């Protein structure tokens, strides 16, 4: 029998450490598939964040660097400037990219660094136990917003993608979701686009991925996917932002 669908070379055949229903496994695979479909595995350098995906390099079969919490885009800037001909990307969560690393994010984007960013937005800090994230929705209960996020106490969910779209150095921003197979396929196309933009020297590209965290949303995996569709997307509408 002919095998028509298989694991790509960029993804190791190992079990991940992620919780049941977590979106990271899918997102990792989408990155690996984009790399393989472009045939760039041997010239790709990934930068892993601090957060649930801290050991992403245990799952990807290409060169990777760690970065201190929030500093992925500074590290990626250093790598890319040394190797302009390689394909360099960061994979970061909402706390990493939009809270502790906001400065690095905005300035790398504003310099128009020729980088690709996969930004996982699950509206919560996962690795540390489900605390309030910059992207936590109003009313959403977390370990540090026990009664739910309020605008008075915590401010509003941060729409960093819309903010970055204002910068002239940014060439492409799209928000996608992992809520169902159809949206996953769109996410795959968007991530591939972000890599292609870099190969074509177009500048800074970012794909924001709405990703489920059943564990810290207090929902089942299926309910989490519905929550993205019915609740999260209202605050973070899908589609091309730039």
Partner 1 sequence: MAKTKVLLSGNEAIAQGAIQAGCTFYAGYPITPQNELIAYMAKYLPASGAVKGQAARVFIQAESELAAINMVYGASAAGARAMTSSSSPGISLKQEGISYLAGSQLPAVIVNIMRGGPGLGNIAPAQSDYFQATRGGGHGDYHVIVLAPASAQEAYDLTQSGFDLADKYRTPVMILGDGVLGQMMEPVKLSSRKIKTPPVKSWALCGCAGRKPNIAKSFFLREGALEEFNLKLQKNYQIIQQKEQRFEGLFLSDAKVILVAYGTMARIAKSAISQLRNAGKQVGLIRPISLWPFPERAFQIKNNRVKYLVLELSYGQMLQDVRLAVNGRQQVEFLGRSGGGILSQEQIIDKVKKIL
Q: Residue 216's Cα: distance from chain center in Å?
A: 18
Determine, following the binding rule CB under 8 A, whether residue 47 of this chain makes contact with partner 1: yes
Stretch that binds partner 1, among 40-48, 145-153, 192-200, 228-236 (CB under 8 A): 40-48
**14, 58 Cβ separation under 8 angstroms:** yes
The reply on whether position 84 binds partner 1 by CB under 8 A is: yes
Angstrom distances, CA of residue 122 to CA of 17, 51, 52, 176: 17, 12, 11, 12
Pick one of 24, 29, 71, 192: the residue that binds partner 1 (CB under 8 A): 71
Q: Which two tokens stand for residue 187?
A: 């996410």
Scanning 23-31, 81-89, 163-171, 181-189 for contacts with partner 1 by CB under 8 A, the matching segment is 81-89
82 binds partner 1 (CB under 8 A): yes
Q: Which is nearer to partner 1, 109 or 194 (CB)?
A: 109
Should residue 81 be labelled a site residue for partner 1 when binding is judged by CB under 8 A? yes
Q: Does 64 bind partner 1 (CB under 8 A)?
A: yes
Please give the sequence-ordered ranges of beta strands (E in DSSP) within the chain, or none if there are none: 44-47, 63-65, 87-93, 116-121, 170-177, 204-210, 239-240
Partners of 196 in beta bridges? none
Interacting residues with partner 1 between 170 and 229 (CB under 8 A)? none
Q: What is the dihedral of CA 156, 234, 174, 222, to 10 degrees?
A: 110
Binding residues for partner 1, rule: CB under 8 A, are: 41-45, 47, 54-55, 57, 60-68, 71, 74-86, 103-104, 106-107
């Amino acid at each position: 029998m002919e095998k028509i669908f298989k694991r790509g070379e960029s993804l190791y055949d190992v079990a991940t450490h992620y919780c049941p229903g977590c979106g990271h496994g899918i997102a990792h695979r989408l990155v690996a598939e984009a790399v393989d479909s472009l045939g760039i595995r041997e010239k790709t350098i990934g930068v892993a964040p601090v957060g649930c995906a801290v050991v992403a390099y245990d799952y990807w079969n290409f060169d990777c660097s760690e970065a201190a919490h929030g500093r992925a885009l500074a590290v990626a800037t250093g790598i890319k400037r040394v190797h302009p001909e390689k394909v360099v990307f960061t994979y970061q969560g909402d706390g990493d990219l939009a809270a502790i690393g906001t400065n690095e994010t905005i300035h790398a984007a504003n310099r128009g660094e020729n980088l690709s960013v996969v930004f996982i937005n699950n509206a919560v800090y996962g690795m540390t136990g489900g605390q309030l994230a910059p992207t936590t929705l109003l009313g959403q209960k977390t370990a540090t917003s026990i009664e739910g996020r309020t605008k008075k106490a915590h401010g509003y969910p941060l729409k960093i993608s819309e903010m970055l779209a204002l910068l002239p150095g940014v060439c492409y921003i799209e928000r996608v979701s992992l809520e169902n197979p159809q949206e996953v396929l769109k996410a795959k196309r968007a991530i591939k686009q972000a890599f292609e933009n870099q190969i074509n020297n177009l500048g800074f590209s970012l794909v924001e991925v709405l990703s489920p965290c059943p564990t810290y949303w207090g929902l089942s995996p299926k309910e989490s996917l519905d929550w993205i569709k019915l609740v999260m997307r209202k605050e973070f509408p899908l589609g091309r932002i730039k």
